[in-house]
Structure 1
Amino acid sequence: MASKVTPISGFQEWLPTERIAEQYFLDTIREVFELHGFASVNTRSVESVERLSSQGEDADKEIYAVRRLAAPADEQAEPTLGLHFDMTVPFARYVLENAGKLTFPFRRYQIQQAWRGERPQRGRYREFIQADIDIVDAGELPAHYEAELLLVIADVFARLPVGDYTIHVNNRKICEGFYLGLGIDDVIGTLRIVDKLDKIGPQKVAELLVANGLTDEQAKQCLALAEINSPDGSFVERVRALGVEHPTLDEGLAHLESVIATAAEHAPGVAIADLRIARGLDYYTGTVYETMLERDPGYGSICSGGRYDSLATDGKRTYPGVGISIGVSRLLGLLIGEEGLTASRETPVAVLVAVNDEDSRAESTRIATALRSRGIATLVAPKAAKFGKQIQFADRRGIPFVWFPGAGEDGSDQVKDIRSGQQSAADRSSWTPPQADLRPSLVSPTTD
């Protein structure tokens, strides 16, 4: 009996042309990460629930638990394993387990799926791809890496059709020092509330801060700090003008000023100091990042991360790190899913080799083999139909060239560009399509 297929929300499944566009993004991201000296690692899908749930308020809401459906009675208690909801937590565990085999500072990239047990909504999925880079050192991590990650992301986005964007940068030590200077004891709780500014607005945030034990004046000062942003170092004077002093605040301001100065020199116009950025996970201790698309800032961050000093520690040694993650599925949910970005064809094939008749299929296969040996994606026609139908087969898939074995008057092979109709003699050992046709290209719905 046939069963009805019921869609499950929160999962991306692309059509072939869309999948090619996704692969283009993934290949570009990987290439740039490697250009900047990051090595690839892959971690398991599950971590202990204890490790996953220790990362802050948000983490407790996001864990998909894993256990066997047919587990015996003694395994029916609370599950001990969960699917990871980001790459940073499993990477920290990976560093601890392999510290003796890694060379520090260790630069890694990781492009994998993650899972969040939350209600799917625009730009947020139950299953999604993240592309992470992290730099981890043993004992101490120099602050200059916090600026370097911005430059890597700027390099990635310069090669992709993402449009105008801004990386908003803050330093958690600014917030921590400012709150301590105000006499606020619950720094983490205050950070979590301030992090809700974009979702609920300043009035609601002020009410929550007061409900959390702050005075009206303390809440007002917290909001005043969060309102400060600038594309240069002028934010320092504006913070100082609020009249709050603390050594941790001084340290955070100096670090953020350095990050913004480096970004301004090497990727002008990309970074902005934005003191409302907090990030909800507890493990961040220094610089934090969120990246907004200028044309749709309400979509939320498409690339986030920050510094963590104590996430990876075995009790004897600590491995501080800094990382940033591109939300690939989130980004493509907008570019592909909403704006219609796609690929020029549904297959990587550039050439279809026609089959004159089934007795000559072996020759068509030899031609395809020769072309593939030189890196040209080639397909042999599935049927020895009339040439018109074989051309139609190629056209429907966007394959630009059809190869006709022995079609020339002298028995030579011929290749036809089915878009222009131009046909000419071709040698399987030397013919190459134009570079633009060798691989599918991205096609924007606004492209003429």
Structure 2
Amino acid sequence: MARKASLSGFPEWLPNERLVELHVQDTLRRTFELHGFSNIETRAVETVGQLLRKGEIDKEVYGLSRLQAEEGEAAGTDPNALALHFDLTVPFARYVVENAGHLAFPFRRYQIQKVWRGERPQDGRFREFTQADIDVVGDGALPFRYDVELALVIADALGSLPIGEFTVRVNNRKLAEGFYRGLGLEDTAAVLRSVDKLEKIGPDKVAELLISETGATEDQARAALALASIRTADTSFAEQVRALGVQHELLDEGLAELTEVIEAASRRAPGTVVADLSIARGLDYYTGTVYETVLVGHEKLGSICSGGRYESLASKGNRVFPGVGLSIGVSRLVSRLLADGGLQASRDVPTAVLVALNDDDSWYQAQDVATALRARGIAVEVAAKAEKFGKQIRYADRRGIPFVWFTTAEGTHEVKDIRSGDQVAADPQSWTPPAEDLQPGITTS
């Protein structure tokens, strides 16, 4: 289990834990690339104006300034001041606009980077953490089928990790907004923000918020909560929505889109992707499909993966770049896996072989052995001192290195598996450890 960080909200993994994190990242990277997503990396800082232009989250943004600011430098409240990015979607939108002339659309990208968010640290929530994002962005238009595809990609990506059962919960903002308008509630953004708090504060408190902050009547609040209570693993949600008796053109459009997502998911990932009409997503830039993913049995941890459709987050004059994307909270996921002992590395170091020294003069000969092994992709360390072989073996054991290499006085070579005690003749030009020992393995408890 990870040590408690000396600076709250800024986790630092031990080597064994870091190997687990890298395994998660590598698995996601392979899956994303199998689905045709290209990797990019954006800068860590954006202007305050860029970060805050879609949604009011200024309390969570870390401003960036020098301790001794020079005259004329922007202050934290200036839209031109610099701040650390709080997610990867807003920087990606800026990246698309600035590089549109060099990108082929629809543009498919994935990004695995650190982000910073000034929220209260707690279980699974950090101030510095890693996210893994995928997005598809179009130029002027983006076919809805990408909304369907992303639900399937994320189910594939998370299904490749030994994290147990998970549920991708999907809703549609058009469905929700059309329903609210059909009720006579025009401030749909405020209603969505209230409904987004449903799991945190419960239906009674949300009803109070709807009445006090959006001007809803008790009947309207009751209807909004009735919509949020609908959850199905098939397309029967549409009938339940219709049974509530609300009509609106935007509602019809949202129902059709969500039905298409759930129909496809029920064939490709049955039971994994469900329609959940309580999902709202508080950020203002989402316009259609929205996703949230939870670990079954760990729902209190919150969403480990979320995102949605946006039509105008990225724009340049009359040119718009609609997109759909999802973000996996890698640090949140890893912290849970480590806390539960669900994943652990088979050893703490990448080293598979320690080349032992007969005497100090044999160090250069040992380096020749190490070079031959490394040329074939085997991670090797050379002992620093010609201590008794027993001490060199104990050093390897403490480090978690499975094999120790010996060169005899006659110039022949032997390798010892210190776990079993087996020692056999070996050739530096051809010997290879078993495949499971070539690199640290990630195992489930």
Q: Equivalent of 2:66, from 68, 73, 78?
A: 68
Alignment of 1:208-357 (within 5 A): 208-212=209-213, 213-339=215-341, 341-357=343-359
By how many angstroms is 1:152 displaced?
Answer: 1.4
Tell me which amino acid in the other structure corresponds to 1:39: S
By how many angstroms is 1:361 displaced?
Answer: 0.8
- The farther-off stretch of 6-15 and 344-353 is 6-15
Partner of 1:195: 196
Partner of 2:433: 433
Question: Aligned with 1:311: secondary structure?
Answer: strand
Question: Aligned with 2:348: secondary structure?
Answer: coil
By how many angstroms is 1:75 displaced?
Answer: 3.3
Instruction: Please tell me whether the aligned partners of residues 163 and 342 of structure 2 are also in contact (alpha carbons under 8 angstroms).
Output: no
Give me the whole-angstrom Cα distance separating, in 2, the residues matched to 1:81 and 1:126: 18
Give me the whole-angstrom Cα distance separating, in 2, the residues matched to 1:196 and 1:292: 16
Alignment of 1:174-185 (within 5 A): 174-185=175-186
1:227-265 CA distance string (max 9 Å, x none): 000000000000000000111111111111111111111
Tell me which amino acid in the other structure corresponds to 1:134: D
Give me the whole-angstrom Cα distance separating, in 2, the residues matched to 1:385 and 1:126: 46
By how many angstroms is 1:72 displaced?
Answer: 2.9
Tell me which amino acid in the other structure corresponds to 2:40: V
By how many angstroms is 1:295 displaced?
Answer: 1.6
Question: Aligned with 2:312: secondary structure?
Answer: coil
Unaligned segments of structure 1, at least 5 residues: 1-5
Q: How many residues align?
A: 437
Partner of 2:415: 415
Unaligned segments of structure 2, at least 5 residues: none
- The farther-off stretch of 75-84 and 21-30 is 75-84
Partner of 2:367: 365
1:196-217 CA distance string (max 9 Å, x none): 0000000000001011201111
Give me the whole-angstrom Cα distance separating, in 1, the residues matched to 2:147 and 2:240: 23
Alignment of 1:27-106 (within 5 A): 27-57=26-56, 59-75=57-73, 77=75, 78-79=77-78, 80-106=81-107
Partner of 1:3: none
Identity %: 62
By how many angstroms is 1:336 displaced?
Answer: 1.4
CA 1:340–1:255: 2 relative to 1, 3 Å: closer
Question: Aligned with 2:316: secondary structure?
Answer: coil
Give me the whole-angstrom Cα distance separating, in 1, the residues matched to 2:52 and 2:276: 28
Tell me which amino acid in the other structure corresponds to 2:403: F
By how many angstroms is 1:364 displaced?
Answer: 0.6
The CA RMSD over aligned residues, in Å, is 1.3
By how many angstroms is 1:61 displaced?
Answer: 2.2
